[in-house]
């Protein structure tokens, strides 16, 4: 029997509805949550993503600012914009869209963002808070969204063998730190695999929950799946498809058609993890606004 689909579109819609309700409560008390997104250069995919964030803010009744800068912007100029946003009382969340054009250095830009406004969850202070289990920081949006997909789909994480394929700072590492916490929606037994893992299938076949974020189309196949596992596919890969009007189609890191016959639950690509990232960004921004409002009381 094919696996049940974990519908990221509907779950993201549910979270965004909750965010809009919380934003409305804050607005009633005099604080309108505000998100600023900084886009440097003309990367088409980044531009589409930034527009989606702006639309999501509007739908939630939040204040949204998009700052578009030319690719030739210097490091000093970019840091100056970040400093201004840090000081802007109408802005509670700051996101600098990655990747940045060369030779801009992402690390110094991330470190320049006020950790209280770092709704992407990449500042070292927020990374540290996640690792030690402090709840007042921000978790990166994609791992936070994956956790919500699992929880809201009824997947039991406590005690589960959780295998993560990929160790990026954006997904793999924070995902491991999140699932291993002694907290609701966590308490998993976590294994992280990467390109030097000797026998990937040996590990993935142990997984009750398998999260694949390697950036390689079709990396995980049916014989690598434990029957009944919950599979979260984070990959978003473009492959040629002459039958498509666009000449390509999007696929994940998991061979969906075969793995669906073995797993109990699986995310589609697209329509799985992707919508959750923006939903959790909105959630983080409202949390940031609420924290600033409490501090001002």
SS (H, E, C) the chain: CCCEECCHHHHHHHHHHHHHHHHHHHHHCCCCCEEEEEEECCCHHHHHHHHHHHHHHHHCCCEEEEEEECCCCCHHHHHHHHHHHHHCCCCCEEEECCCCCCCCCHHHHHHHCCHHHCCCCCCHHHHHHHHHCCCCCCCCHHHHHHHHHHHHCCCCCCCCEEEEECCCCCCHHHHHHHHCCCCCCCCCEEEEECCCCCCHHHHHCCCCEEEECCCCCCCECHHHCCCCCEEEECCCEEEECCCCCCCEEEECCECHHHHCCCCCEECCCCCCCHHHHHHHHHHHHHHHHHHHHHHHC
User: Which residue did the predictor score with more confidence, 244 or 287?
Assistant: 287
Start-to-end CA distance of the chain, whole Å, equals 55
pLDDT(297) > 90: no
Dump pLDDT digits (tens) for 185-218: 999 999 999 999 999 999 999 999 999 999 999 9
Tell me which CATH homologous superfamily contains domain 141-273: NAD(P)-binding Rossmann-like Domain (3.40.50.720)
Q: Indicate the pTM of the whole model.
A: 0.96
pLDDT band of 46, cuts 50, 70, 90? confident
Catalytic residues: 53, 97, 120
Dump pLDDT digits (tens) for 4-21: 999 999 999 999 999 999
Do 220 and 235 contact (CB within 8 A), yes or no? no
Burial string for 51-73 (b: 16+ CB within 10 Å, else e) reads eebbebbeebebbbbbbebeeeb
**Per-residue pLDDT, 287:** 98
Q: What average pLDDT score do residues 213-228 get?
A: 97
Is it true that 29-116 and 141-273 share their CATH fold? yes
Class of 29-116 per CATH? alpha beta
Dump pLDDT digits (tens) for 56-85: 999 999 999 999 999 999 999 999 999 999
**Per-residue pLDDT, 137:** 97
pLDDT band of 286, cuts 50, 70, 90? very high
Q: Which two tokens stand for residue 268?
A: 């589609």
pLDDT(281) > 90: yes
Q: Which two tokens stand for residue 29?
A: 């008390």
pLDDT band of 48, cuts 50, 70, 90? confident
**Per-residue pLDDT, 245:** 86
pLDDT(90) > 90: yes
**Per-residue pLDDT, 156:** 98
Dump pLDDT digits (tens) for 94-141: 999 999 999 999 999 999 999 999 999 999 999 999 999 999 999 999
| Domain boundaries, given as residue ranges, for the chain | 29-116, 141-273
């Amino acid at each position: 029997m094919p696996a049940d689909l974990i519908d990221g579109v509907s779950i993201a819609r549910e979270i965004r509805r909750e965010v809009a309700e919380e934003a409305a409560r804050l607005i009633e008390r005099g604080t309108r949550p505000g998100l600023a997104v900084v886009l440097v250069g003309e990367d088409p995919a980044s531009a589409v993503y930034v527009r989606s964030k702006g639309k999501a803010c509007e739908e939630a009744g939040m204040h949204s600012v998009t700052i578009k800068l030319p690719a030739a912007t210097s490091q000093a100029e970019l840091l100056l914009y970040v400093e201004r946003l840090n000081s802007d009382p109408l802005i509670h969340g700051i996101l600098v869209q990655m990747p940045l054009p060369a030779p801009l250095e992402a690390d110094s830009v991330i470190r320049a963002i006020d950790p209280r406004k770092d709704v992407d969850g990449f500042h070292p202070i927020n990374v540290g808070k996640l690792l030690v289990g402090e709840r007042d920081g921000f978790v990166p949006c994609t791992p936070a969204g994956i956790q919500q997909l699992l929880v809201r789909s009824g997947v039991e994480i406590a005690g589960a063998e959780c295998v993560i394929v990929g160790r990026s700072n954006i997904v793999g590492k924070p995902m491991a730190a999140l699932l291993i916490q002694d907290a609701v929606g966590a308490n998993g037994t976590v294994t992280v695999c990467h390109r030097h893992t000797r026998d990937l299938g040996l590990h993935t076949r142990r997984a009750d929950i398998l999260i694949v974020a390697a950036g390689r189309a079709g990396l995980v196949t049916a014989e690598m799946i434990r029957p009944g596992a919950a599979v979260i596919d984070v990959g978003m890969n473009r492959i040629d498809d002459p039958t498509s009007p666009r000449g390509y189609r999007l696929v994940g890191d998991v061979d969906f058609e075969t793995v669906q016959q073995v797993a109990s639950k699986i995310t589609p690509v697209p329509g799985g993890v992707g919508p959750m990232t923006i939903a959790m960004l909105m959630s983080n921004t409202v949390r940031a606004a609420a924290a600033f409002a409490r501090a001002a009381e």
